[in-house]
Structures are given as C-alpha cells and as structure tokens.
C-alpha cells in the first residue's frame, strides 16, 4: 500500500485534515467528561452497599442472559438479510452482526464506526462495498424505527396514575429524541443528501488517483436501490421490533437473577425506556449513566428501587462484555479466513 506521504496533497486538503485532527480530541474530551459526570452522579445517588452484593448474588444470571441474547441477534440478522433478496446470507449477517454489536459495545468507536467495519466484512462475500454500506444504513434506520415501535408499546403499558408532570416531560423528551433520529434517516435519504458522498469520493479520486475509491462509487444509487425495497424494509422493521422486545425477557431474567420477581409488563417497560435512553445518549461512550437513568426511571413507576434497577442494567452490560469478547474471537477468525483466501487467490 502506498504511503500517504507519497501522495500529492493540496494545501486546502492538508488544512482540512489538521482541522479534523483538532476536532477529534475535543470531541473525545466532551464525551469523556459527560461519561464521568454520569458515573459520579450515580455514585452519589445510588446506594453501592446494596448494589454490589446484589450483583454478586446474580453472577450466575450472566451466562443465561448471554445465551438468550442469541435469539435477539438472530432476529436482527434476519432483518438485515432482508436487504439482500435472492441471497441466503443469514449466517453471514449473524456473524457480522455479532462483530458489529460487540465492537460497538467494547471499543470506543461508536455505532457508525462499527457499522463501517461490518460493511467491510460483508463486502468479502461477493457484495460490493457500496451495496454493503447502503444496506447497513437502511438497516440502522429500520432498527431505530423498530426501537420507536418498542418504546411506543412500552408507553402503552405504563401503569396508570403513576406518571407525574416531571416524568411526562422526561418521557416526552425521550420519545421526541427517538422520533427525531428516525426522521433524520428518512429525510436524509429522501433529500438525496447521501449523493454528496458520491461527489466527495469522485473529487478525492481525481486529486489522489493512487488511492482506490472505486469500491464506494455510486454509493447513492446503491442506497436508493436498497431503500426502494419498501416491503422488505417494513418486514425488517417488524423483525427489529421483535428483536427489541426479546430484550424485555433478558431484563426479566436479570431481575430474577437479582432475586426480585417482576411482572412481564414491568420488564417490558423498563427495557423499552432504558434502551431508548441509551440510543438517545449516543454521544456518551456506551451511554454510561444514561441507560441506568432510563432503567431507574421506568423501574420507579413499578415501585422498583433504583439500586435494583441499576443492578439490572449492570447485568445487561455484563452480557455486553461477553458478546464483545466473543466478537473479537469471531473477528479474528474472519481475518484469518480472509488471509487464507487472499493467499489462495494470489497463488492461483
């Protein structure tokens, strides 16, 4: 691969690159400060003396929750596979989805960066990089829409007479945030703003011809092709809604692991509000503190102590660590297989 120093860089491009380099540390400082503030808030407001013993008693629930999470991944992978009509890619989508979720939870690279990694891995199975990336964007939009459906179902199941004025404002803001995220995907696609990526790739290719940008050519056209499969996209939203709903069973298992029986209704509402809060707090790494706030808020509507609600959230995060650890193993196997495949093609 050519070194970047060997390429002719115009002064404007160099200046933009330096500006981006300055912006990145500032963004990470803001994210780290927000995460530390959330951790400090819960350390001061939650009784850790009750939280830690409860987690130690529930350590056996980690494995159960982890094994059950496979069903969520199965439905999410089936939803992603909907973007590839005529091709049987469910097993491939499952492996790549596992890697996406694991790396996005463990590493501070964010959901979009993990999705980019997923597009790179998927392009090794006879799918163009542009189509793989387009399918990921549509899948992210379908997943967010499924979350909105999940949250609306949770709102319907809220216990009557428990909502205060402040709670209604908090829940309304959460609904507005998730709706805005869904709308941003739809507006961006309908307005054709992703065509700007095509123009940027074309300009970069003309300035630096030694870098191969052909893999992302016609990205906008690929996105429009995937988006026009509306029946499949609707089915993908339904599958993602089922996947999100299965998370309520994980929460129910977590509460039982904490030796605190809750109803299915309470588990559904706690998980729907907690996951929506986590998605709304995407700017904070891992939504640390935001997810716990959602769990504590929803749990309080059913008389669940904040310590128990936070302990339940921590249990689900423990499952995320197991998913992340296994995803790195799967990613390593994918890289080894890709290396063998490249050497075989080179030898042939």
Instruction: Pick the closest to residue 292 from 93, 40, 42 (CA basis).
Output: 42
Domain map of the chain by residue range?
36-337
pLDDT digit string, tens, across residues 210-227? 444 555 556 666 666 766
Q: Which is more confident, 63 or 51? A: 63
Tell me, what's the pLDDT at 10? 39
- Does residue 254 register a pLDDT over 50? yes
pLDDT digit string, tens, across residues 159-175? 887 777 788 888 888 89
In this prediction, residue 331 has a pLDDT band, given cuts at 50, 70 and 90, of confident
Average pLDDT over residues 250-262: 91
The rounded mean pLDDT for the chain is: 77
Between CA 75 and CA 79 the distance in angstroms is 6
In this prediction, residue 20 has a pLDDT band, given cuts at 50, 70 and 90, of very low
Contact 214, 117 (CB under 8 A): no
Between CA 309 and CA 10 the distance in angstroms is 55
DSSP 51: H
Please give, one letter per residue, the 3-state secondary structure of 264-314.
HHHHHHHHHHHHHHHHHCCCCHHHCCHHHHHHHHHHHCCCCCHHHHHHHHH
pTM of the model: 0.78
Between CA 316 and CA 257 the distance in angstroms is 11
Between CA 123 and CA 136 the distance in angstroms is 12
Please list, in sequence order, all residues whose beta carbon lies within 8 angstroms of the beta carbon of residue 142, skipping any fewer than 6 positions away.
79, 233, 236, 237, 240
- Does residue 272 register a pLDDT over 90? yes
Tell me, what's the pLDDT at 119? 83
Average pLDDT over residues 232-258: 94
Tell me, what's the pLDDT at 196? 54
Half-sphere exposure of 248 (CA within 13 A, CB side): 24
């Amino acid at each position: 691969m050519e070194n970047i120093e060997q390429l002719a860089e115009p002064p404007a491009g160099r200046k933009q690159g330096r500006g981006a380099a300055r912006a990145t540390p500032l963004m990470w400082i803001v994210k780290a400060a927000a995460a530390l503030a959330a951790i400090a808030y819960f350390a001061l407001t939650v009784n850790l003396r009750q939280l830690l013993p409860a987690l130690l008693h529930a350590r056996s629930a980690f494995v159960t929750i982890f094994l059950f999470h496979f069903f969520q991944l199965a439905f999410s992978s089936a939803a992603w596979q909907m973007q590839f009509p005529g091709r049987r890619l469910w097993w491939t989508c499952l492996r790549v989805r596992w890697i996406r979720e694991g790396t996005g939870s463990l590493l501070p690279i964010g959901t979009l960066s993990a999705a980019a990694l997923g597009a790179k891995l998927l392009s090794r199975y006879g799918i163009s990089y542009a189509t793989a990336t387009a399918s990921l964007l549509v899948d992210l939009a379908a997943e967010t829409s499924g979350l909105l459906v999940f949250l609306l179902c949770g709102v319907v199941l809220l216990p009557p007479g428990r909502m205060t004025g402040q709670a209604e404002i908090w829940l309304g803001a959460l609904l507005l945030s998730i709706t805005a995220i869904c709308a941003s995907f739809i507006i961006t696609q309908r307005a054709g703003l992703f065509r700007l990526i095509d123009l940027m790739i074309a300009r970069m290719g003309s300035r630096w011809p030694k870098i191969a940008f052909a893999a992302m050519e016609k990205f906008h056209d690929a996105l429009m092709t995937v988006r026009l499969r509306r029946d499949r996209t609707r089915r993908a939203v339904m599958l993602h809604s089922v996947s999100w709903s299965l998370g309520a069973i994980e929460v129910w298992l977590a509460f039982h692991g904490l030796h605190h029986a809750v109803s299915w209704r309470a588990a559904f509402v706690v998980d729907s509000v907690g996951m929506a809060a986590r998605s709304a707090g995407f700017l904070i790494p891992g939504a640390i503190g935001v997810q716990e706030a959602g769990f504590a808020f929803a749990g309080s509507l059913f008389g669940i102590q904040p310590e128990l609600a936070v302990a339940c959230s921590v249990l689900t995060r423990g499952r995320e660590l197991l998913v992340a650890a296994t995803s790195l193993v799967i990613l390593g196997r994918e890289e080894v297989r890709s290396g063998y495949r490249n050497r075989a093609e080179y030898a042939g």
